[in-house]
Chains A and B, each alone.
Chain A
């Protein structure tokens, strides 16, 4: 139960960091910082609230989420390969 509250506190702190970072001018880095924090927060939720790290039923569980993210990144990459060179 303690771990849930700790994870929640980290999520709130990360949100605070994301909001205050948006107030500063980081140039091209700001999107990276915002997305980095978002991925960190989802990682915390997936592993602790959704218990992905304890899922022992099937080995497949470990690879499903990274797999789907890889597919998405592949599609985003291919889309931009098209858009950027038009």
Chain B
């Protein structure tokens, strides 16, 4: 029989190192954002007013709730209730898809109005507005990609629990996926006020 090696502290530590590198990846974009906002504060304010604030707030609530269902899924697997864990994991995946669904309609309506990177109508507007929407698309886009990857990982975990490959004893893959999912939530917590709530 093949010997299985388990190192929970090492795995958790490795996951945290990866998450910190993610913080730095988004951090660089946040620095870019803050400099451009400093240089074009008035135009950033006007451009942010044109974003759909209710949809942004709804997506914030969706991601916060998905963090709760994620934590509950881990909680129930730890307490030997895999069927409940699967239920909350399914809810988490559903909420993630719901977030992307809203994001799609938000982007689609902006594109419909001729506001997308390198759009001829947009390039004629003021420089600050071009920068704002450039940052809007790249930062929410990179975040959306992370949500997509998260949904993929959660689906793999779903199958693993279903097949009994992870359970209350080997719970670490689910825990690490949860850490990733919560970090994606935290990044949105900063993106939301910086893009939708500029006053």
Q: Is the CB of B179 within 8 A of A50?
A: yes
Residues from chain A with a CB closer than 8 A to the CB of B64 are 8, 11-12, 15
Q: Is the CB of A55 within 8 A of B12?
A: yes
Listed stretches B32-40, B99-107, B129-137, B159-167; interface member? B32-40
- Tell me, rounded to whole Å, the shortest Cβ–Cβ distance linking A49 to chain B: 5
Q: Is the CB of A4 within 8 A of B72?
A: yes
Residues from chain A with a CB closer than 8 A to the CB of B183 are 50
Listed stretches B119-127, B145-153, B189-197; interface member? B189-197
Q: Judge if B168 is at the interface, Cβ distance under 8 Å.
A: no
- Residues facing B in A18-53 (CB within 8 A) are 18-19, 22-26, 30-31, 34-35, 37-38, 41-42, 45-46, 48-50
- Tell me, rounded to whole Å, the shortest Cβ–Cβ distance linking A30 to chain B: 4
Q: Judge if B31 is at the interface, Cβ distance under 8 Å.
A: yes
Residues from chain B with a CB closer than 8 A to the CB of A19 are 53, 57, 197
Q: Is the CB of A15 within 8 A of B182?
A: no
Residues from chain B with a CB closer than 8 A to the CB of A57 are 8-9, 12-13
- Residues facing A in B1-38 (CB within 8 A) are 8-9, 12-13, 16-17, 20, 23-24, 27, 30-31, 34-35, 38
- Residues facing A in B41-66 (CB within 8 A) are 53, 57, 60-61, 64-65
- Tell me, rounded to whole Å, the shortest Cβ–Cβ distance linking A42 to chain B: 5
A18-B193, A45-B186, A49-B67 as given contacts; A64 in contact with B16, CB under 8 Å: yes
Q: Which residue of A lies closest to B27 (CB)?
A: A72
Q: Is the CB of B27 within 8 A of A15?
A: no
- Tell me, rounded to whole Å, the shortest Cβ–Cβ distance linking B49 to chain A: 11
Residues from chain A with a CB closer than 8 A to the CB of B138 are none
- Residues facing B in A57-86 (CB within 8 A) are 57-58, 60-61, 64-65, 68-69, 71-72, 75-76, 79-80, 83-84
Q: Which residues of B contact A (CB under 8 A)?
A: 8-9, 12-13, 16-17, 20, 23-24, 27, 30-31, 34-35, 38-39, 53, 57, 60-61, 64-65, 67-68, 70-72, 75, 178-179, 182-183, 185-186, 189-190, 192-194, 196-199
- What 16 new A-B contacts, CB under 8 Å, besides A38-B193, A41-B189, A45-B186? A4-B72, A11-B67, A15-B57, A15-B61, A22-B196, A22-B197, A23-B199, A31-B198, A35-B193, A42-B189, A57-B13, A64-B20, A68-B24, A69-B23, A75-B27, A80-B35
